[in-house]
Amino acid sequence: MTTSATNLVNMTANEIVGLLKKREVTPAELLDALRERISEVDNKVNALPTLCWERAYKDADKMSNLSLDERGILAGLPVAIKDLNPVSGVRSTWGSPIYRDFVPRRSDCLVENLEKEGGIVYAKTNTPEFGAGANTFNEVFGATLNPWDTTKSCAGSSGGSAVALATGQAWLASGSDLGGSLRNPASFCSVVGFRPSPGRVAYGAAGAGAYPSGLYSIPGQPFSVAGPMARTVADVALFLDALVGTHPADPISLPKTEKSYLEAVNNPRKPRKVAFSPDLGVTPVDREVADICRKAAEVFEDLGCIVEEAHPDFSDVQDIFQTWRAISFYVSKKELLDNQKDLLKPEVVWNIEKASEITVDDFARIELARGRYLARANEFFQDYDLLLCPATVVPPYPVEQRFVESLGDHKFSNYVEWLTIAYAITLTGHPALSIPAGFTESGLPVGLQMVGGPRGEENLLMAAELYEKASTIKFGVPIDPISS
């Protein structure tokens, strides 16, 4: 190997792909570097509980025998996959003791598309049970710890992915997002988490054998999406290029765009008019977090953009989101509640049972409200190119705390309400990302949420790239885990 393992894990994904395309490093050598790094640090953070080296080295050998034109966008770059996405032949648990020994015969849509573009799967990243709750712990593998302070939560549900990136155990890692599961852990770990528009990344069971009995994928639903996580905006764009494209198993999956996202990021244009909101008008926010994000938003003023304090009307977000979330849990997991309730964590049980209170009239009401909600958001983005706000309402909190129960005088009504600032954007269907905004006085990361207009991935990534280059914030990753 011409480059040391330490140097390799510190490089960006784009730099590594450049080496692969010049044949200055092999996919197997990259796996060797990751294997060394994982052995050094993962016992301190528990980000990658499932490793599949035999499968990965086999794929690496196949990749090395292909011509460069046949290798795809990633050209043999190893990628970590969240444990909500089944990978054929690899233990896939959804963080649940019910499926602690399940090995799928087929992969998720995302994995199949990724492997066609030269991604090599070597690990599954830890997640809370069924992705429920923004603190990454489960009864199968335990908790994943925040590398900036290993007494703190890394958030979730893509917490293992964020921590693997932050500690140099991954160049790219997949995530998924309903209530902020790509954005929350990115904020807590000083990396970039990108939530694309529904359909932009094909997602869900690709066929028989991908999902176990009793657990169901809901094709074509408009809220839960899969997306890329990385350490830089350009790496997210590279990963998104490899993930996008149609898949027959996902009826709303979109074709690749004519222009690559990496090409757009390499030639960015600035937004004209930017809105900033400290709270979107719907949630309390920690004062230090709000101040850090307000200062980060000033970068766009320095770039010559108009920046104003504004946000759409999100006042009915709780009624819409909480009702839809309960329905989705009921559809996909009711069979588990009936047959194996004792193995489900209490938050999941609560979410499934909540649907029993919902009537047809309730469903009609929130569907009409959702239509008005979308119209207001779309009208807002006719005036503004970008909306900025905190990605999370608090800095990383103690890992033993299952979720944030209160903030100031406000007591959150359930285990997901503290995520309102993220899922208020989920309901719009607009792409969003979390990018590092700075650090608290105690040295904990804070993320800035950036939201684009309808199907606005390209413009959002270009704005994020300009911010990343102009900001004085140093992301500071990868790092060795820090014990407080």
What pLDDT sits at residue 3? 74
Q: How confident is the model at residue 84 (pLDDT cuts 50, 70, 90)?
A: very high
pTM of the predicted model as reported, rounded to 2 decimal places = 0.97
What pLDDT sits at residue 204? 87
C-alpha distances in angstroms, 66 versus 53, 71, 191, 218, 238? 20, 6, 32, 36, 21
Angle formed by the axes of helices 317-340 and 346-354, nearest 10°? 110
What pLDDT sits at residue 340? 95
Chain CA centroid to CA 151, Å: 22
Could you identify the residue written with the tokens 């060797």?
32
Q: Considering only residues 214 and 143, tell me which one the structure prediction assigns the higher pLDDT.
A: 143
What pLDDT sits at residue 213? 87
**Interval 294-319: pLDDT, tens:** 999 999 999 999 999 999 999 999 99
Could you identify the residue written with the tokens 């904020």?
187
* Position 388 pLDDT exceeds 80: yes
Give the chain's mean pLDDT. 96
What pLDDT sits at residue 76? 98
Sign of CA dihedral 232, 236, 242, 243: positive
Active site residue 82: yes
Distance CA 294, CA 299 (A): 9
**Interval 237-273: pLDDT, tens:** 999 999 999 999 999 999 999 899 999 999 999 999 9
Compute the CA torsion angle 242, 66, 6, 474 (nearest 10 deg): -20
What pLDDT sits at residue 190? 98
What pLDDT sits at residue 40? 97
Kindly state the DSSP code that residue 253 receives in the 8-state scheme: P
* Position 1 pLDDT exceeds 60: no
Write down the catalytic residue from 92, 157, 197, 260.
Answer: 157
What pLDDT sits at residue 206? 79
Domain residue extents for the chain: 5-470
Active site residue 224: no
**Interval 100-154: pLDDT, tens:** 999 999 999 999 999 999 999 999 999 999 999 999 999 999 999 999 999 999 9
Give the mean pLDDT of 42-65: 98
Go through 137-149 and write b for each residue having 16 or more CB atoms within 10 A of its CB, e for each that does not. bbebbebbbbbbb
- Report the share of the chain in percent with pLDDT over 70: 100
What pLDDT sits at residue 372? 98
Nearest to 385 by CA among 308, 329, 468: 308
Q: How confident is the model at residue 222 (pLDDT cuts 50, 70, 90)?
A: confident
* Position 412 pLDDT exceeds 60: yes
Q: How confident is the model at residue 218 (pLDDT cuts 50, 70, 90)?
A: confident
Q: Which helix (H) or strand (E) holds 16?
A: helix 13-21
> Is the CATH number 3.90.1300.10 carried by domain 5-470?
yes
Within 74-148, strands assigned E span 78-82, 120-125, 137-138, 142-143
Write down the catalytic residue from 88, 181, 187, 260.
Answer: 181
Q: Which helix (H) or strand (E) holds 410?
A: strand 410-411
Give the ranges where 219-340 is alpha helix by DSSP (H): 233-243, 261-266, 287-302, 317-340
